[in-house]
Amino acid sequence: MTMRRPTIGVFDSGFGGLTVLKALLELIPDADYLYFGDTARLPYGSKSVETVARYAVEAAHYLEAHSAQLLVIACNTATALALDRITAAAHVPVVGVVEPGAEAAAEATKNKKVVVIGTEATVSSHAYRKALEARQLNAREKACPLLVPLVEEGWVDHTVTEQVARIYLGQAFGDGFHDADVLVLGCTHYPLLKPLLHRVVPANVTIVDSAESTAHAVAAHLQELLPRSEAQLESRATPRLKFFATDSVEKFRRLGQRFLGHSTDDVQHVDLKE
Amino acid sequence: MTMRRPTIGVFDSGFGGLTVLKALLELIPDADYLYFGDTARLPYGSKSVETVARYAVEAAHYLEAHSAQLLVIACNTATALALDRITAAAHVPVVGVVEPGAEAAAEATKNKKVVVIGTEATVSSHAYRKALEARQLNAREKACPLLVPLVEEGWVDHTVTEQVARIYLGQAFGDGFHDADVLVLGCTHYPLLKPLLHRVVPANVTIVDSAESTAHAVAAHLQELLPRSEAQLESRATPRLKFFATDSVEKFRRLGQRFLGHSTDDVQHVDLKE
């Protein structure tokens, strides 16, 4: 018996979640993907819980209505501020990025001191601190609001970006956290800065990118949802990818490539007010 | 006969337009003001014409419904991309920031070469170039997407901001524009960077802040709308100020102070989906 390939819905405020989609495509190529980027209302990182929750629930409903069987909240801010609300509103399983990131940090740390960088909203929610403290780890959270615009400017290996990173991480690793040995990238834009961040943090620090750990969490969920022992998934050369964006389709194609590493052709404009 | 004070509606994507409101309060204290900040959907500077126009028209209607007798589009991006659409949709006079800024540049330049800095969307629209060329001036437009986040981070006098400004302005004043003698601040966040920008541009360059020139344009409009010769305006110690924000009221109060220079107490949350 051949079973239909599962359809996974991936949601982000914009383009950053494409780094999560990229990790998913590598780990789970035998699925199809819907990606929703709320590009007309990004960024979420500076906005309030109420606003972010409302936007994220709308997007989740949209993906469900388009047959997503599992939702990945690939946006750290939406996960940190609204995962409970999204899970309550959805009728399919929902996977966020915070728990997988915290789990990967717990596996990587030796001295139980972890630094998390993210948007202002993610840090204010203390979602990472709670998830890390639940694993008996000491957490230091630091908001780095300039890193997203620097990535979007394309300055991923620029001297200005390195200075900004040194200022932020100097503060994050100061004051009792000099010996932290894990840095969690609590924002999906940050994986593009990995080479630069490796130069800035002490050599013994492991950088945890929640994209990969989230992909593993999704694979585990799928295993429960569609046990491989019962059915062989329909196999096809490449996953089917469909993208939805609330702002310009042309811009999504242009910027999407930077995050995903290959082209994003099938993009459809969505107006959530309709 | 004492006439009722006029009510002026000021619209911006967020907080930057408060620099225009500040100029209005100084020049026209005998009016009342409604300020609408679309903080749940900011920034507009990276978004498409369709999206920005839709958002701006919604805000304009909201201000009209709250008795604004004249609308000031204090957002450069909204003016550049959607002034025609807003004017067509509104039932009261509409004043944008681009024409007053271009007019002030024309008055200030001696050698008819003007540099304009703004958001990606403002620059792509070429609204400033058209307005300046209509005045027989040579214009160079340069998008500076990092300056808004740097202002919002509070780094208005930071060495990193100065480096970023040197990179952007080095490009803007290069290549045939070394002798430009006017710099137009085509974004309402930039007036907060004036002292820093004065250090970066050549000494002979005049910096034009469209906030002030816009306030003068509004005063001229009011003169037509409510001729002083016919009526003495009701005079009161201080203008009545009311603020509407689509994101958190608390955050508006906190950040608003930085732009307006004094507190913004009467803030009401607005959900444009309702």
- Owning domain of residue A8: 2-96+212-269
For position B274, what pLDDT does the model report? 40
Residue A237: predicted pLDDT? 64
Please list every residue in chain B whose beta carbon sits closer than 8 Å to the beta carbon of residue A41: 40-41
> Per-residue confidence at B1, pLDDT binned at 50, 70, 90?
very low
Annotated active-site residue in B8, B75, B95, B97:
B75
For B166-214, write each residue's pLDDT tens digit. 999 999 999 899 999 999 999 999 999 999 999 999 999 999 998 999 9
Task: Name the pTM for this structure.
Answer: 0.92
Query: Is B39 close to A47, i.e. CB distance below 8 A?
Result: yes
Find chain A residues with C-beta within 8 A of B251's C-beta: 48
The CATH code of the domain that includes B126 is: 3.40.50.1860
Please answer yes or no on whether A163 and B160 come within 8 Å at the CB atom.
yes
Domain boundary among A194, A209, A224: A209
Mark whether A81 and A217 lie in a shared domain. Answer: yes
Q: Are residues B128 and B190 in the same domain?
A: yes
Residue A59, both tokens: 């997007």
pLDDT digits 0-9 by tens, B127-138: 999 999 999 999
Number of structural domains (chain A) is 2
Residue of A nearest to B41 (CA): A41
Residue A274, domain member (yes or no): no
Same-domain check for residues B221 and B172? no
Is B274 contained in some domain? Answer: no
Q: Do B248 and A46 touch (CB under 8 A)?
A: no
- Both A90 and A217 in one domain: the answer is yes
What are A159-195's pLDDT values in tens digits?
999 999 999 999 999 989 999 999 999 999 999 999 9
Annotated catalytic, A75?
A: yes
Cβ neighbours of A46 in B, within 8 Å: 152
| Neighboring chain B residues of A160 at a CB cutoff of 8 Å | 160, 163-164, 167
Is residue B145 located within the same domain as residue B238?
no
Same domain membership, residue A134 and residue A63: no
Count of pairs with CB atoms under 8 A, one residue in A, one in B: 57
Q: What is the pLDDT of residue A2?
A: 53
Using CA coordinates, name the residue in chain B closest to A158: B164
SS3 annotation, chain B: CEECCCEEEEEECCCCCHHHHHHHHHHCCCCEEEEEECCCCCCCCCCCHHHHHHHHHHHHHHHHHCCCCEEEECCHHHHHHHHHHHHHHCCCCEECCHHHHHHHHHHHCCCCEEEEEECHHHHHHCHHHHHHHCCCCEEEEEECCCHHHHHHCCCCCCHHHHHHHHHHHHHHCCCCCCCCCEEEEECCCHHHHHHHHHHHCCCCCEEEEHHHHHHHHHHHHHHHHCCCCCCEECCCCCCCEEEEECCCHHHHHHHHHHHHCCCCCCEEECCCCC
Residue A144 annotated to the active site: no
Averaged confidence pLDDT in chain B: 93
pLDDT bracket for residue B258 (50, 70, 90) = confident
Domain stop point among B185, B211, B237: B211
